[in-house]
Amino acid sequence: MSGRTLSPERPCLAVAIIVRDADSLVVETLKSVRSLADVIVVADTGSTDGTVETVRRYTPNVIQHGWEDDFSAARNDCLNFVRTQWILWLDAGETIASDDALALRRFIEVEADLQKAYLLMVRVSPGPGAVAAEQVGRVRLVPHCPGIQFQGRVCEDMAASLSDLQIEVESLPWQIHRGAVEHDQERKVSRARRNMEIANLEMTQRGDLPHLLNCLGEALHCLEERKRAADCYRQAVGSATPGSTEMLEAYYGLLTALDGEDNAVEQQLTVCLEALETFPLDMQLLCAMGGYLQFQGHLDLAARSYKTAFRHGKINLQTWHLEDIHEITAQCLASACHALEDDEKAQNFLEEALQKSTRSTRLREALVDLHVNCGRPTEALQHAMLLPAQLAKPETLEMVVRGACLAAQGNWTQAVCPLKDAYSAGCRDPLCLRWLTASFISSGELFQAQEVIQEWTRLAPDTLEVLGYQDRLKQLQQQTDGVVESISLQAPGSARGEQQVETSPGSIPTPS
Protein backbone atom coordinates (compact mmCIF):
# COMPACT_ATOMS: atom_id res chain seq x y z
CA MET A 1 0.00 0.00 0.00
CA SER A 2 1.09 3.57 -0.56
CA GLY A 3 0.36 4.56 3.03
CA ARG A 4 -3.23 5.77 2.58
CA THR A 5 -5.84 4.41 5.00
CA LEU A 6 -8.50 2.79 2.84
CA SER A 7 -12.13 3.69 3.42
CA PRO A 8 -14.99 1.51 2.14
CA GLU A 9 -17.07 4.66 1.46
CA ARG A 10 -14.68 6.13 -1.10
CA PRO A 11 -13.62 4.97 -4.55
CA CYS A 12 -10.32 3.16 -4.49
CA LEU A 13 -7.63 4.07 -7.03
CA ALA A 14 -4.61 2.08 -8.13
CA VAL A 15 -1.75 3.65 -10.04
CA ALA A 16 -0.30 1.02 -12.37
CA ILE A 17 3.14 1.23 -13.98
CA ILE A 18 5.27 -1.13 -16.06
CA VAL A 19 9.03 -0.63 -15.81
CA ARG A 20 12.37 -1.91 -16.99
CA ASP A 21 15.74 -0.48 -15.99
CA ALA A 22 14.04 2.75 -14.90
CA ASP A 23 15.80 3.30 -11.59
CA SER A 24 16.68 6.90 -12.48
CA LEU A 25 13.15 7.75 -13.63
CA VAL A 26 10.63 5.90 -11.51
CA VAL A 27 11.28 7.70 -8.21
CA GLU A 28 9.78 11.00 -9.33
CA THR A 29 6.76 9.16 -10.73
CA LEU A 30 6.18 7.31 -7.47
CA LYS A 31 6.61 10.46 -5.40
CA SER A 32 4.12 12.40 -7.51
CA VAL A 33 1.28 9.91 -6.92
CA ARG A 34 1.71 9.17 -3.21
CA SER A 35 -1.11 11.56 -2.28
CA LEU A 36 -3.29 10.31 -5.13
CA ALA A 37 -3.08 6.51 -5.04
CA ASP A 38 -4.57 4.05 -2.59
CA VAL A 39 -2.46 1.33 -4.15
CA ILE A 40 0.59 1.40 -6.42
CA VAL A 41 1.17 -1.66 -8.60
CA VAL A 42 4.35 -2.02 -10.66
CA ALA A 43 5.10 -4.72 -13.23
CA ASP A 44 8.83 -5.16 -13.81
CA THR A 45 9.72 -6.64 -17.18
CA GLY A 46 13.28 -7.72 -16.43
CA SER A 47 15.26 -4.88 -14.86
CA THR A 48 18.96 -5.43 -14.33
CA ASP A 49 19.59 -2.21 -12.40
CA GLY A 50 18.18 -1.20 -9.02
CA THR A 51 14.65 -0.51 -10.26
CA VAL A 52 12.91 -3.26 -8.26
CA GLU A 53 14.66 -2.33 -5.01
CA THR A 54 13.78 1.33 -5.57
CA VAL A 55 10.13 0.55 -6.27
CA ARG A 56 9.83 -1.63 -3.15
CA ARG A 57 10.60 1.43 -1.02
CA TYR A 58 7.27 2.87 -2.19
CA THR A 59 5.06 -0.21 -2.64
CA PRO A 60 5.22 -3.95 -1.95
CA ASN A 61 3.08 -4.64 -5.03
CA VAL A 62 5.78 -5.58 -7.55
CA ILE A 63 5.00 -8.13 -10.25
CA GLN A 64 7.78 -9.93 -12.09
CA HIS A 65 6.73 -10.23 -15.74
CA GLY A 66 8.84 -12.12 -18.24
CA TRP A 67 9.33 -9.84 -21.26
CA GLU A 68 7.86 -11.25 -24.48
CA ASP A 69 8.22 -8.26 -26.82
CA ASP A 70 4.62 -7.42 -25.97
CA PHE A 71 3.63 -4.31 -24.02
CA SER A 72 -0.02 -5.37 -23.84
CA ALA A 73 0.90 -8.65 -22.17
CA ALA A 74 2.86 -6.76 -19.50
CA ARG A 75 0.07 -4.25 -18.90
CA ASN A 76 -2.61 -6.93 -18.76
CA ASP A 77 -0.55 -8.91 -16.25
CA CYS A 78 -0.43 -5.77 -14.11
CA LEU A 79 -4.13 -5.15 -14.74
CA ASN A 80 -5.06 -8.64 -13.52
CA PHE A 81 -3.34 -7.94 -10.20
CA VAL A 82 -5.36 -4.81 -9.47
CA ARG A 83 -8.48 -4.99 -7.28
CA THR A 84 -9.51 -1.33 -7.10
CA GLN A 85 -12.45 0.47 -8.70
CA TRP A 86 -10.24 2.76 -10.77
CA ILE A 87 -6.84 2.42 -12.45
CA LEU A 88 -4.58 5.27 -13.49
CA TRP A 89 -1.83 4.22 -15.91
CA LEU A 90 1.54 5.96 -15.86
CA ASP A 91 4.94 5.26 -17.37
CA ALA A 92 8.25 5.61 -15.55
CA GLY A 93 9.36 9.23 -15.71
CA GLU A 94 5.83 10.62 -15.94
CA THR A 95 4.59 12.82 -13.11
CA ILE A 96 1.43 14.62 -12.05
CA ALA A 97 1.64 18.06 -10.45
CA SER A 98 0.38 18.18 -6.86
CA ASP A 99 -2.55 20.47 -7.68
CA ASP A 100 -3.62 18.24 -10.56
CA ALA A 101 -3.28 15.14 -8.38
CA LEU A 102 -5.55 16.71 -5.76
CA ALA A 103 -8.13 17.75 -8.36
CA LEU A 104 -8.04 14.32 -9.99
CA ARG A 105 -8.55 12.60 -6.64
CA ARG A 106 -11.59 14.78 -5.93
CA PHE A 107 -12.98 14.03 -9.37
CA ILE A 108 -12.66 10.28 -8.81
CA GLU A 109 -14.38 10.55 -5.44
CA VAL A 110 -17.25 12.79 -6.52
CA GLU A 111 -17.83 12.80 -10.27
CA ALA A 112 -16.20 9.87 -12.06
CA ASP A 113 -18.63 7.58 -13.88
CA LEU A 114 -17.86 3.86 -13.87
CA GLN A 115 -19.39 3.64 -17.34
CA LYS A 116 -16.73 5.96 -18.74
CA ALA A 117 -12.98 6.06 -19.33
CA TYR A 118 -11.01 9.28 -19.33
CA LEU A 119 -8.36 10.96 -21.44
CA LEU A 120 -5.61 12.90 -19.71
CA MET A 121 -3.23 15.14 -21.60
CA VAL A 122 0.32 13.77 -21.75
CA ARG A 123 2.64 16.77 -22.05
CA VAL A 124 6.24 16.79 -23.24
CA SER A 125 8.27 19.88 -22.36
CA PRO A 126 9.81 21.79 -25.29
CA GLY A 127 12.93 20.24 -26.77
CA PRO A 128 15.93 22.15 -28.11
CA GLY A 129 14.75 24.68 -30.67
CA ALA A 130 11.08 23.79 -30.22
CA VAL A 131 8.44 26.48 -30.53
CA ALA A 132 6.23 25.03 -27.77
CA ALA A 133 5.52 22.00 -25.63
CA GLU A 134 3.65 19.14 -27.26
CA GLN A 135 0.76 17.15 -25.83
CA VAL A 136 -1.59 14.33 -26.67
CA GLY A 137 -4.73 12.90 -25.09
CA ARG A 138 -4.38 9.32 -23.89
CA VAL A 139 -6.87 7.05 -22.12
CA ARG A 140 -5.17 6.72 -18.74
CA LEU A 141 -7.99 6.61 -16.16
CA VAL A 142 -10.25 3.58 -16.55
CA PRO A 143 -12.76 1.72 -14.39
CA HIS A 144 -11.64 -1.72 -13.31
CA CYS A 145 -14.14 -4.07 -14.86
CA PRO A 146 -13.96 -7.45 -16.59
CA GLY A 147 -13.30 -7.24 -20.28
CA ILE A 148 -11.01 -4.21 -20.37
CA GLN A 149 -7.74 -5.35 -21.88
CA PHE A 150 -4.83 -3.86 -23.79
CA GLN A 151 -4.18 -4.97 -27.36
CA GLY A 152 -1.05 -4.69 -29.50
CA ARG A 153 2.56 -5.57 -28.92
CA VAL A 154 3.51 -1.89 -29.35
CA CYS A 155 1.42 1.30 -29.42
CA GLU A 156 -0.88 -0.71 -27.19
CA ASP A 157 -4.30 0.62 -26.22
CA MET A 158 -7.67 -0.36 -24.76
CA ALA A 159 -9.80 1.13 -27.54
CA ALA A 160 -11.25 -2.15 -28.86
CA SER A 161 -12.31 -3.47 -25.45
CA LEU A 162 -13.77 -0.11 -24.38
CA SER A 163 -15.81 -0.05 -27.59
CA ASP A 164 -16.99 -3.64 -27.06
CA LEU A 165 -18.14 -2.74 -23.54
CA GLN A 166 -19.76 0.49 -24.78
CA ILE A 167 -17.66 2.53 -22.37
CA GLU A 168 -17.56 6.16 -23.45
CA VAL A 169 -14.34 8.17 -23.42
CA GLU A 170 -14.27 11.73 -22.11
CA SER A 171 -11.44 14.24 -21.79
CA LEU A 172 -10.20 15.63 -18.48
CA PRO A 173 -8.28 18.91 -18.11
CA TRP A 174 -5.34 17.64 -16.06
CA GLN A 175 -1.90 16.82 -17.36
CA ILE A 176 0.64 14.05 -17.09
CA HIS A 177 4.13 15.46 -17.53
CA ARG A 178 7.14 13.99 -19.27
CA GLY A 179 10.43 15.72 -18.62
CA ALA A 180 13.58 16.62 -20.53
CA VAL A 181 14.67 12.97 -20.66
CA GLU A 182 12.24 12.61 -23.58
CA HIS A 183 14.69 14.63 -25.66
CA ASP A 184 17.75 12.54 -24.81
CA GLN A 185 18.99 11.36 -28.20
CA GLU A 186 20.49 8.11 -26.97
CA ARG A 187 17.23 7.18 -25.26
CA LYS A 188 15.19 8.12 -28.34
CA VAL A 189 17.37 6.00 -30.63
CA SER A 190 17.19 3.03 -28.27
CA ARG A 191 13.41 3.29 -28.09
CA ALA A 192 13.14 3.69 -31.87
CA ARG A 193 15.14 0.51 -32.49
CA ARG A 194 13.06 -1.41 -29.95
CA ASN A 195 9.77 -0.17 -31.39
CA MET A 196 10.86 -0.91 -34.94
CA GLU A 197 11.73 -4.48 -34.02
CA ILE A 198 8.43 -5.06 -32.21
CA ALA A 199 6.37 -3.34 -34.92
CA ASN A 200 7.95 -5.53 -37.59
CA LEU A 201 7.23 -8.61 -35.49
CA GLU A 202 3.59 -7.64 -35.04
CA MET A 203 3.20 -6.79 -38.72
CA THR A 204 4.29 -10.31 -39.67
CA GLN A 205 1.45 -11.59 -37.50
CA ARG A 206 -1.31 -9.06 -38.13
CA GLY A 207 -0.38 -7.35 -41.39
CA ASP A 208 0.53 -3.76 -42.24
CA LEU A 209 -1.95 -2.02 -39.95
CA PRO A 210 -1.96 1.80 -40.12
CA HIS A 211 -0.95 2.37 -36.51
CA LEU A 212 1.99 -0.04 -36.90
CA LEU A 213 3.09 1.71 -40.09
CA ASN A 214 2.97 5.02 -38.19
CA CYS A 215 5.02 3.49 -35.39
CA LEU A 216 7.55 2.19 -37.89
CA GLY A 217 7.64 5.57 -39.67
CA GLU A 218 8.33 7.38 -36.42
CA ALA A 219 11.14 4.97 -35.53
CA LEU A 220 12.74 5.29 -38.97
CA HIS A 221 12.51 9.08 -38.81
CA CYS A 222 14.27 9.07 -35.44
CA LEU A 223 16.98 6.88 -36.96
CA GLU A 224 17.46 9.44 -39.78
CA GLU A 225 15.96 7.16 -42.44
CA ARG A 226 13.59 9.83 -43.69
CA LYS A 227 12.74 8.37 -47.09
CA ARG A 228 11.78 5.01 -45.62
CA ALA A 229 9.81 6.85 -42.93
CA ALA A 230 7.94 8.82 -45.59
CA ASP A 231 7.13 5.58 -47.43
CA CYS A 232 5.66 4.10 -44.24
CA TYR A 233 3.55 7.18 -43.64
CA ARG A 234 2.29 7.18 -47.24
CA GLN A 235 1.33 3.52 -46.87
CA ALA A 236 -0.45 4.32 -43.59
CA VAL A 237 -2.42 7.11 -45.26
CA GLY A 238 -3.53 4.70 -47.97
CA SER A 239 -4.59 1.94 -45.59
CA ALA A 240 -6.14 3.98 -42.76
CA THR A 241 -9.86 4.54 -42.44
CA PRO A 242 -10.63 7.96 -43.98
CA GLY A 243 -10.98 10.58 -41.26
CA SER A 244 -9.39 8.38 -38.60
CA THR A 245 -6.79 9.42 -36.05
CA GLU A 246 -4.35 6.98 -37.70
CA MET A 247 -4.74 8.78 -41.05
CA LEU A 248 -4.21 12.22 -39.48
CA GLU A 249 -1.11 10.99 -37.63
CA ALA A 250 0.23 9.58 -40.89
CA TYR A 251 -0.21 12.94 -42.62
CA TYR A 252 1.56 14.72 -39.74
CA GLY A 253 4.40 12.23 -39.89
CA LEU A 254 4.71 12.52 -43.67
CA LEU A 255 4.95 16.32 -43.52
CA THR A 256 7.73 16.07 -40.94
CA ALA A 257 9.58 13.31 -42.80
CA LEU A 258 9.69 15.47 -45.94
CA ASP A 259 11.70 18.22 -44.20
CA GLY A 260 15.10 18.53 -45.84
CA GLU A 261 14.07 16.77 -49.05
CA ASP A 262 14.63 18.37 -52.46
CA ASN A 263 11.63 20.58 -53.26
CA ALA A 264 10.36 19.82 -49.76
CA VAL A 265 7.93 22.74 -49.56
CA GLU A 266 6.30 21.86 -52.88
CA GLN A 267 5.86 18.27 -51.73
CA GLN A 268 4.55 19.37 -48.34
CA LEU A 269 2.03 21.71 -49.97
CA THR A 270 0.75 18.81 -52.05
CA VAL A 271 0.43 16.63 -48.95
CA CYS A 272 -1.33 19.43 -47.07
CA LEU A 273 -3.87 19.94 -49.84
CA GLU A 274 -4.57 16.21 -49.93
CA ALA A 275 -4.88 16.01 -46.14
CA LEU A 276 -7.21 19.02 -45.95
CA GLU A 277 -9.65 17.30 -48.28
CA THR A 278 -10.29 14.83 -45.45
CA PHE A 279 -9.52 17.10 -42.48
CA PRO A 280 -10.61 20.55 -43.77
CA LEU A 281 -10.59 22.25 -40.36
CA ASP A 282 -7.57 20.66 -38.74
CA MET A 283 -5.75 23.57 -37.11
CA GLN A 284 -2.25 22.18 -37.45
CA LEU A 285 -2.70 21.32 -41.13
CA LEU A 286 -4.07 24.79 -41.82
CA CYS A 287 -1.15 26.41 -39.99
CA ALA A 288 1.28 24.20 -41.86
CA MET A 289 -0.33 25.18 -45.14
CA GLY A 290 -0.04 28.85 -44.19
CA GLY A 291 3.62 28.40 -43.32
CA TYR A 292 4.48 26.74 -46.62
CA LEU A 293 2.56 29.37 -48.57
CA GLN A 294 4.22 32.19 -46.66
CA PHE A 295 7.63 30.64 -47.29
CA GLN A 296 6.86 30.76 -51.02
CA GLY A 297 5.77 34.39 -50.78
CA HIS A 298 2.03 33.78 -51.24
CA LEU A 299 1.15 36.06 -48.35
CA ASP A 300 -2.53 36.56 -49.13
CA LEU A 301 -3.16 32.82 -49.41
CA ALA A 302 -1.14 32.21 -46.25
CA ALA A 303 -3.25 34.76 -44.36
CA ARG A 304 -6.43 33.02 -45.53
CA SER A 305 -5.17 29.68 -44.28
CA TYR A 306 -4.18 31.12 -40.91
CA LYS A 307 -7.49 32.94 -40.60
CA THR A 308 -9.46 29.76 -41.26
CA ALA A 309 -7.41 28.03 -38.57
CA PHE A 310 -7.92 30.95 -36.18
CA ARG A 311 -11.67 31.17 -36.70
CA HIS A 312 -12.68 27.56 -37.29
CA GLY A 313 -9.70 25.30 -36.61
CA LYS A 314 -10.07 22.15 -34.52
CA ILE A 315 -7.60 19.80 -32.87
CA ASN A 316 -7.84 16.03 -32.58
CA LEU A 317 -6.79 15.62 -28.97
CA GLN A 318 -5.59 12.06 -29.57
CA THR A 319 -2.87 13.21 -31.97
CA TRP A 320 0.29 14.95 -30.86
CA HIS A 321 -0.20 18.69 -31.14
CA LEU A 322 1.45 21.90 -30.00
CA GLU A 323 0.17 22.86 -26.58
CA ASP A 324 -0.12 26.53 -27.55
CA ILE A 325 -1.47 25.88 -31.05
CA HIS A 326 -4.32 28.39 -30.64
CA GLU A 327 -1.90 31.15 -29.63
CA ILE A 328 0.59 30.17 -32.33
CA THR A 329 -2.20 30.35 -34.91
CA ALA A 330 -3.02 33.91 -33.84
CA GLN A 331 0.66 34.82 -33.96
CA CYS A 332 1.03 33.36 -37.47
CA LEU A 333 -2.05 35.24 -38.65
CA ALA A 334 -0.73 38.51 -37.21
CA SER A 335 2.62 37.85 -38.89
CA ALA A 336 0.95 37.45 -42.27
CA CYS A 337 -1.13 40.59 -41.78
CA HIS A 338 1.99 42.54 -40.81
CA ALA A 339 3.76 41.24 -43.91
CA LEU A 340 0.78 42.45 -45.96
CA GLU A 341 1.19 45.87 -44.30
CA ASP A 342 -2.14 45.58 -42.50
CA ASP A 343 -0.93 46.19 -38.98
CA GLU A 344 -4.38 47.18 -37.72
CA LYS A 345 -5.68 43.69 -38.49
CA ALA A 346 -2.58 42.13 -36.98
CA GLN A 347 -3.17 44.04 -33.76
CA ASN A 348 -6.87 43.17 -33.71
CA PHE A 349 -6.23 39.45 -34.09
CA LEU A 350 -3.61 39.43 -31.35
CA GLU A 351 -5.81 41.40 -28.97
CA GLU A 352 -8.77 39.12 -29.70
CA ALA A 353 -6.66 36.06 -28.95
CA LEU A 354 -5.30 37.69 -25.79
CA GLN A 355 -8.82 38.22 -24.50
CA LYS A 356 -9.27 34.43 -24.56
CA SER A 357 -5.79 33.68 -23.18
CA THR A 358 -5.27 36.55 -20.79
CA ARG A 359 -2.08 35.13 -19.26
CA SER A 360 -0.38 34.34 -22.54
CA THR A 361 3.20 35.61 -22.55
CA ARG A 362 3.52 34.58 -26.19
CA LEU A 363 0.66 36.81 -27.36
CA ARG A 364 1.73 39.72 -25.16
CA GLU A 365 5.26 39.54 -26.56
CA ALA A 366 3.84 39.41 -30.09
CA LEU A 367 1.94 42.64 -29.41
CA VAL A 368 5.09 44.27 -28.05
CA ASP A 369 6.99 43.20 -31.17
CA LEU A 370 4.22 44.48 -33.44
CA HIS A 371 4.16 47.90 -31.78
CA VAL A 372 7.96 48.06 -31.86
CA ASN A 373 8.05 47.22 -35.57
CA CYS A 374 5.39 49.86 -36.20
CA GLY A 375 7.38 52.48 -34.27
CA ARG A 376 4.82 52.85 -31.45
CA PRO A 377 6.91 53.01 -28.26
CA THR A 378 4.06 54.06 -25.95
CA GLU A 379 1.88 51.08 -26.86
CA ALA A 380 4.86 48.73 -26.84
CA LEU A 381 5.84 49.89 -23.35
CA GLN A 382 2.28 49.43 -22.04
CA HIS A 383 2.26 45.77 -23.04
CA ALA A 384 5.87 45.19 -22.03
CA MET A 385 5.04 46.37 -18.51
CA LEU A 386 2.48 43.54 -18.27
CA LEU A 387 4.99 40.80 -19.12
CA PRO A 388 6.57 38.68 -16.36
CA ALA A 389 9.02 41.19 -14.92
CA GLN A 390 12.76 40.65 -15.20
CA LEU A 391 13.45 44.34 -14.84
CA ALA A 392 13.64 46.09 -11.49
CA LYS A 393 13.04 49.58 -12.87
CA PRO A 394 10.39 50.72 -15.37
CA GLU A 395 12.80 53.33 -16.73
CA THR A 396 15.12 50.50 -17.81
CA LEU A 397 12.30 48.88 -19.74
CA GLU A 398 11.54 52.24 -21.33
CA MET A 399 15.14 52.39 -22.59
CA VAL A 400 14.76 48.93 -24.10
CA VAL A 401 11.54 49.84 -25.92
CA ARG A 402 12.97 53.12 -27.18
CA GLY A 403 16.08 51.39 -28.48
CA ALA A 404 14.05 48.58 -30.05
CA CYS A 405 11.83 51.07 -31.90
CA LEU A 406 14.91 52.85 -33.25
CA ALA A 407 16.43 49.56 -34.37
CA ALA A 408 13.20 48.46 -36.04
CA GLN A 409 13.34 51.60 -38.17
CA GLY A 410 16.94 50.81 -39.16
CA ASN A 411 18.54 53.44 -36.90
CA TRP A 412 21.07 50.92 -35.62
CA THR A 413 23.74 53.26 -34.29
CA GLN A 414 21.23 55.35 -32.34
CA ALA A 415 19.56 52.19 -31.03
CA VAL A 416 22.76 50.79 -29.52
CA CYS A 417 23.05 53.44 -26.79
CA PRO A 418 19.75 52.92 -24.90
CA LEU A 419 19.86 49.15 -25.44
CA LYS A 420 23.46 48.94 -24.22
CA ASP A 421 22.63 51.10 -21.19
CA ALA A 422 19.74 48.79 -20.29
CA TYR A 423 21.93 45.72 -20.75
CA SER A 424 24.68 47.26 -18.56
CA ALA A 425 22.03 47.93 -15.92
CA GLY A 426 21.34 44.20 -15.75
CA CYS A 427 18.45 43.86 -18.19
CA ARG A 428 18.30 40.38 -19.72
CA ASP A 429 14.81 40.59 -21.14
CA PRO A 430 14.54 38.83 -24.55
CA LEU A 431 13.42 42.11 -26.11
CA CYS A 432 16.68 43.74 -25.03
CA LEU A 433 18.85 40.79 -26.03
CA ARG A 434 17.18 40.47 -29.43
CA TRP A 435 17.47 44.09 -30.49
CA LEU A 436 20.87 44.71 -28.94
CA THR A 437 22.24 41.70 -30.81
CA ALA A 438 20.65 42.87 -34.07
CA SER A 439 21.95 46.40 -33.56
CA PHE A 440 25.51 45.27 -32.84
CA ILE A 441 25.54 42.99 -35.88
CA SER A 442 24.01 45.60 -38.16
CA SER A 443 26.53 48.15 -36.95
CA GLY A 444 29.39 45.74 -37.67
CA GLU A 445 30.25 45.33 -33.96
CA LEU A 446 30.52 41.56 -34.15
CA PHE A 447 32.64 41.07 -31.04
CA GLN A 448 30.07 42.88 -28.89
CA ALA A 449 27.30 40.88 -30.55
CA GLN A 450 29.10 37.66 -29.71
CA GLU A 451 29.30 38.59 -26.02
CA VAL A 452 25.55 39.24 -25.89
CA ILE A 453 24.79 36.01 -27.75
CA GLN A 454 26.93 34.05 -25.29
CA GLU A 455 24.98 35.52 -22.38
CA TRP A 456 21.70 34.90 -24.20
CA THR A 457 22.70 31.28 -24.84
CA ARG A 458 23.45 30.81 -21.17
CA LEU A 459 20.01 32.10 -20.20
CA ALA A 460 18.00 30.45 -22.96
CA PRO A 461 19.99 27.61 -24.52
CA ASP A 462 18.69 25.93 -27.66
CA THR A 463 15.90 28.43 -28.39
CA LEU A 464 15.42 28.92 -32.11
CA GLU A 465 15.94 32.68 -31.98
CA VAL A 466 19.34 32.55 -30.31
CA LEU A 467 20.39 29.62 -32.50
CA GLY A 468 19.49 31.70 -35.54
CA TYR A 469 21.66 34.58 -34.36
CA GLN A 470 24.52 32.19 -33.63
CA ASP A 471 24.40 30.90 -37.21
CA ARG A 472 24.14 34.42 -38.65
CA LEU A 473 27.12 35.61 -36.64
CA LYS A 474 29.24 32.65 -37.75
CA GLN A 475 28.44 33.44 -41.37
CA LEU A 476 29.44 37.07 -40.95
CA GLN A 477 32.65 36.25 -39.09
CA GLN A 478 33.75 34.18 -42.05
CA GLN A 479 33.57 37.22 -44.33
CA THR A 480 36.66 39.37 -44.79
CA ASP A 481 38.27 38.59 -41.44
CA GLY A 482 34.99 39.35 -39.68
CA VAL A 483 34.76 42.95 -40.94
CA VAL A 484 31.34 43.71 -42.40
CA GLU A 485 30.10 47.11 -43.49
CA SER A 486 26.47 48.23 -43.39
CA ILE A 487 24.91 44.80 -42.90
CA SER A 488 21.31 46.04 -42.73
CA LEU A 489 20.06 43.17 -40.60
CA GLN A 490 16.59 43.11 -39.09
CA ALA A 491 15.53 41.08 -36.10
CA PRO A 492 13.15 38.17 -36.70
CA GLY A 493 9.64 39.37 -37.44
CA SER A 494 10.62 42.91 -38.35
CA ALA A 495 10.83 42.45 -42.10
CA ARG A 496 7.75 42.47 -44.27
CA GLY A 497 7.09 38.99 -45.52
CA GLU A 498 9.09 37.17 -42.84
CA GLN A 499 7.86 34.93 -40.06
CA GLN A 500 7.15 36.47 -36.68
CA VAL A 501 7.12 33.21 -34.78
CA GLU A 502 10.12 31.34 -33.42
CA THR A 503 9.75 28.51 -35.89
CA SER A 504 8.02 27.77 -39.14
CA PRO A 505 4.30 27.22 -38.60
CA GLY A 506 4.70 24.36 -41.04
CA SER A 507 6.44 22.39 -38.29
CA ILE A 508 4.23 19.48 -37.29
CA PRO A 509 4.96 17.58 -34.06
CA THR A 510 5.93 14.01 -34.80
CA PRO A 511 3.51 11.41 -33.42
CA SER A 512 5.08 9.19 -30.80
Q: Is 92 helix (H, G, I), strand (E, B) or coil?
A: coil
* 36 and 175 co-located in one domain: yes
Print the domain residue range for 128. Answer: 13-181
Q: Residue 21 has what DSSP assignment?
A: S
- Identify whether residues 175 and 204 lie together within a single domain: no
Is the same domain home to 96 and 132?
Answer: yes
> What percent of the chain stands above pLDDT 90?
79
Lowest mean pLDDT among 85-94, 399-408, 464-473: 464-473
pTM for the model stands at 0.89
Number of domains comprising the chain: 3
54 and 109 part of one domain: yes
According to DSSP, residue 158 is labeled S
Identify the three-state secondary structure at position 190: helix
Do 162 and 141 fall into the same domain?
yes
Which of 324, 340, 356 represents a domain boundary (last residue)? 340
How far, in Å, CA of 276 to CA of 301, rounded? 15
299 and 208, same structural domain? yes
Question: Is there a single domain that holds both residue 318 and residue 300?
Answer: yes
57 and 168 part of one domain: yes
Same domain for 34 and 103: yes
Q: Confirm if 429 and 400 have CB atoms less than 8 A apart.
A: yes
Beta strands 13-19 and 94-95 are unpaired
Positions of E strands within 182-291: none
CATH number at residue 27: 3.90.550.10
Q: pLDDT class for 43, splitting at 50, 70, 90?
A: very high
Kindly state whether residues 481 and 431 are assigned to the same domain.
yes
Q: 26 and 136 share a domain?
A: yes
Of the pLDDT bands very low, low, confident and very high (cuts 50, 70, 90), residue 389 is low
- Residue ending a domain, choose from 181, 197, 232: 181
**Rounded Cα distance, 249 and 319, in Å:** 6
Domain boundary among 181, 215, 239: 181
Contact at 8 Å (CB) between 470 and 453?
Answer: yes
Residue 256's closest CA among 240, 273, 271?
A: 271
> 323-365: per-residue pLDDT in tens?
999 999 999 999 999 999 999 999 999 999 999 999 999 999 9
Check the CA dihedral 365-370-372-373 and report its sign: positive
